[in-house]
Structure 1
Amino acid sequence: MSPQFQGILAMIGACTIWGLSPIYYKLLKDVPPLELLAHRTLWSLVVFASILAMQGKLARLRAALGSARAVVVIAFAALMISANWYLFIFSVQQGHVTQTSLGYYMFPLVAVLIGTVVLGEKLKPLQWFAVALAVVAVVQLTIGLGVAPWISLTLAATFGLYGLVKKQLTVGPMVSVTAEVLVLSPIALCWLAVVHGRGDGVFGTDFGTSALLMFSGFLTALPLILFSAAAQRVNMVTVGLLQYINPTLQFFCAVVLFGEALNTFQLAAFGLIWTALALYSGQSVAQERARRRSVMTSAAEFPR
């Protein structure tokens, strides 16, 4: 099996886990979102720290948090990902998986927009058109429903800002995520202490629920490990295209498994977003092919 095929399988595995994760959070619908988020943070820290310890890389956490600037960057990344996690958990429990699916479909376009505004990245005309279609989708959904799709927009924005901040980090993904949950863990511990102190904590009251809460660490770690493996073996265009498996499976969970209704405005928004993603992805594939041809031409003209 070639390294590239291994990477594709790893990416499919990561996105499948992310896409089907609403099923897991539905099983814990009786656990308050903040309590569930606190457990996810702490058990993720246990899993990530254990992996780094087995790899002999725990000392890299000190480097990741070795300066005031690094701490600020890690803290902001932790704030963005915790807000994203919380909103996702809340939305699943409240029956808004359709909106989470739309948010993760919108994420690549929001990320492109953030990159253009913050990093000064240049877009091709077709990519601008794709972003414009996404804006039209949001506007028509807002007018049709009488309220902006805040869940979708916030999920896309927080994940986009999280990705932007991660560009500033020089440590690997496993070390950076461990540092993020390490920063969040004191808050998570304090919240669980308050919850259990007033007698409302669910952990320890039921074996099944407690086991599911502990499993949240593994559920967070495994797709990240698979994603990291995929990123090392597959070009970023392929990674970007395969990422659409995640919101597609979320959409499947929402409509088929959970029976969430879709109205005309939502269907129109999804149609516009899907069209925008098709245009954007097509442009990305074309650019990657052009880059490869350029590299091959240069190699032919200037052989070693």
Structure 2
Amino acid sequence: MTDTRKGVLALVSACIAWGLSSIFYKALVGVDPAEVLAHRTLWSLFFFAGVLLVQGRISALWHAVSHRASLKIIVLAAVMISSNWFLFIWSIHSGRATEASLGYYIFPLVAVVFGRLMFGERLSNLQWVAVGLAVAAVLTLTVGLRIVPWIPLGLAASFGLYGVLKKRLDLGPVVSVTAEVFLLSPLALGWLLMLHLGQGGAFGDDLRQSLLLCASGVVTGAPLILFAYGARRLAMSTVGLLQYINPTLQFVVAVAIFGEPFSTIHLAAFSLIWTALALYSSSAVRQDKARRRARMVSEAEVAVSSSSSSEASAKP
């Protein structure tokens, strides 16, 4: 099997796992979302630290958290990812998984806007149109349902800001996430101790629930490792397109399995988002092809120049 096929398989597996994760968290609906988040944090720490130990890279964790400059960014990233995790878990428990899926559909477009605002990245005309359609989708939900769609906006914004912070870190995905949950673990442990010493936490009361809480570390960590493995072997345009498997599965699960309502207003908003993503993906594929052509031309020019120089130096 070629590296490209391995990459596609790993990436698709990661996105399927993320897309079906709402089923996992729905099974924990009897546990308070904050308690689920605390367990997810702690068991993720055990999982990621175990991976680093097996790889012989546990020292990278101490290196990451001992440098003041990177520590500040890791703290902010930890706040963003924990907020994203909590909001996702809460939305599943509250019967609003459809809105959560919309948030992850919106995320690529929010990331484009953040790239423009914070890194000065240029947007093509198609990308601007895509962003405009995303804004129209949010307005459609706001006016049509007479609510502010804060769940999709919160999920997209928190994950987008998380991506901005990660871009400023010169750390691998496993090391950086391990550092984040490592810093969050004292809060998670303190919260769980308070629950169990007070009104009582859910862990230990029911074997099935307890095992599911323990499994939250693997459910969180395994897809991330698969994603990192696949992303290193594929073009960014391919990675971007395959990522839509995640919110699509979330959407199907919310409507078909959880039976959440999907009105005409929802259909109009999602149609705008799907159109926006089609335009955005088309633009991303074109840009990726243009970069490849430019790189090939540059490499060819370097090869010709090197060959000419060699011939010139060989002449008497």
TM-score range, shorter chain: over 0.9
Whether 1:123 aligns to 2:128 is: no
Structure with higher Rg: it is 2
**SS of the residue 1:194 aligns to:** helix
Structure 1 residue ranges without an equivalent (≥5): none
**SS of the residue 1:302 aligns to:** helix
Whether 1:157 aligns to 2:151 is: no
Q: Which residue of 2 aligns with 1:269?
A: 269
Q: Which residue of 1 aligns with 2:286?
A: 286
Q: Which residue of 2 aligns with 1:184?
A: 184
Q: Deviation per CA, 1:107-163, whole angstroms, max 9, x where unpaired?
A: 000011111111111101111111011011111211111111100000000000000
Q: Deviation per CA, 1:165-211, whole angstroms, max 9, x where unpaired?
A: 00011111100000000000000011001110113211111111111
Q: How many residues align?
A: 304
CA separation in 2, counterparts of 1:105 and 1:197? 41
The 5 Å alignment of 1:151-230 reads: 151-230=151-230
CA separation in 2, counterparts of 1:230 and 1:131? 27
Q: Which residue of 1 aligns with 2:309?
A: none
Q: Structure 1 residues 136-145 or 176-185, which shifts more?
A: 136-145
**SS of the residue 2:286 aligns to:** helix
Q: Which residue of 2 aligns with 1:298?
A: 298
CA separation in 2, counterparts of 1:63 and 1:299? 37
CA contact (8 A) 2:134 2:276 kept: yes
**SS of the residue 1:233 aligns to:** coil
CA separation in 2, counterparts of 1:74 and 1:291? 31
Q: Which residue of 1 aligns with 2:313?
A: none
TM-score norm. by structure 1 comes to 0.98
Compute the displacement of 1:298 (Å).
2.9
The 5 Å alignment of 1:68-87 reads: 68-87=68-87
TM-score norm. by structure 2 comes to 0.94
Q: Percent identity?
A: 56
CA contact (8 A) 2:254 2:260 kept: yes
Compute the displacement of 1:302 (Å).
3.5
CA separation in 2, counterparts of 1:107 and 1:245? 13
Q: Structure 1 residues 137-146 or 247-256, which shifts more?
A: 137-146
Q: Which residue of 1 aligns with 2:114?
A: 114
Q: Deviation per CA, 1:35-67, whole angstroms, max 9, x where unpaired?
A: 000000000000100110111111111211122
CA separation in 2, counterparts of 1:295 and 1:133? 32
**SS of the residue 1:260 aligns to:** coil
Compute the displacement of 1:249 (Å).
0.2
Q: Which residue of 1 aligns with 2:140?
A: 140
CA separation in 2, counterparts of 1:13 and 1:218? 14
Name the aligned partner's letter for residue 226 of structure 2. L
Q: Structure 1 residues 156-165 or 262-271, which shifts more?
A: 262-271
Alpha-carbon RMSD: 0.9
